[in-house]
Amino acid sequence: MLSGGLDSAVNLAIAADKTDVVLALTFDYGQRSASREINSSKELASHYKTAHKTIDLPWFNDSDSALSDTSKTIPKLDIKDLDDTVKTSASAASVWVPNRNGVFVNISASFAEMKGAGLVVGGFNAEEGLTFPDNTRAFTEAATGMFRYSTLNAVTLTGYTIDMAKTEIAKKAVELAVPLGLIWSCYEGGDLMCGACEPCSRLKRAFQETYPELVPSLRIAI
């Protein structure tokens, strides 16, 4: 599952190293950043010589998530507020899309079974797992438990960064020479990543704390 953000890019890099990746999937669920995510994902997939497919899920537009409902505003989250669980929970609630990751992992498991692949890999991480329950090891284990019944080849859902905070993921990205200029982590769909939404602030903080000299390589507003 490839959204084009830092986490999924690092997971693709690790998967490309450890496994034979048969397909990268990007989901268009009407999110503001869809075209940016699709472009980034296509470029990353091409970089890692991986087949890529975009899955359209237009019915998600029935959701009133700020990610797709343009009458709403994407919450800004300052770097200093990233560990304030009241503020991060409010941000998470406004961008929540009902059962989105549940749908993504099931579609991915279908493709895995069709292609004889045993593994679905997602960009799960410990930092966002604190506010998004569908980013946790409990979620991947529960989905894997379901796939024992819903797929004939007992697909496993995993993520190589599931226990990592963003700083560790940033270090991994540099270690693996992930092309940082291709990444799109922002909730918005502008020319540059906005630099102010939650994933932008997390991305900026992670690089400022590890490789500040690489921040200009990211397509992000400072």
Residue 29 or 139: the one with the smaller Cβ distance to Zn ion is: 29
Among 38, 170, 182, 194, binds Zn ion (CB under 5 A): 194
Could you tell me the smallest distance in angstroms from the CB atom of residue 203 to Zn ion? 8
SS3 122: coil
Under rule CB under 5 A, residue 16 binds Zn ion: no
Question: Does residue 143 belong to the site contacting Zn ion (CB under 5 A)?
Answer: no
> Which residue reads 């284990």 in tokens?
141
Closer residue to Zn ion in complex, CB, 102/190: 190
CB burial of residue 21 (10 Å; 0-12, 13-18, 19+): buried
Determine the interface stretch with Zn ion among 19-27, 107-115, 122-130, 200-208 (rule: CB under 5 A).
200-208
Burial class (CB in 10 A: 0-12, 13-18, 19+), 80: exposed
The least CB distance from residue 188 to Zn ion, in Å, is: 5
Q: Tokens in use for 32? A: 């503001």
Binding-site residue total for Zn ion (CB under 5 A)? 5
Q: How far is the CB of 121 from Zn ion (least distance, A)?
A: 24
The nearer residue to Zn ion, 155 or 197, going by C-beta atoms, is 197
The answer to the question of residue 197 lying near Zn ion (CB under 5 A) is: yes
Verify binding: residue 186, Zn ion, rule CB under 5 A. yes
CA dist., res. 173 & res. 202, Å (int): 15
From the DSSP assignment, how many helices (H) and strands (E) are in the chain?
Answer: 8, 4
Q: Which residue number, 24 or 77, has a Cβ lying nearer to Zn ion?
A: 77
| Conformational region of residue 195, where left means phi above 0, alpha means psi within -120 to 50, and beta covers everything else | left
What distance, in Å, lies between the first and last C-alpha atoms of the chain?
28
Binding site for Zn ion (CB under 5 A): 186, 193-194, 197, 200
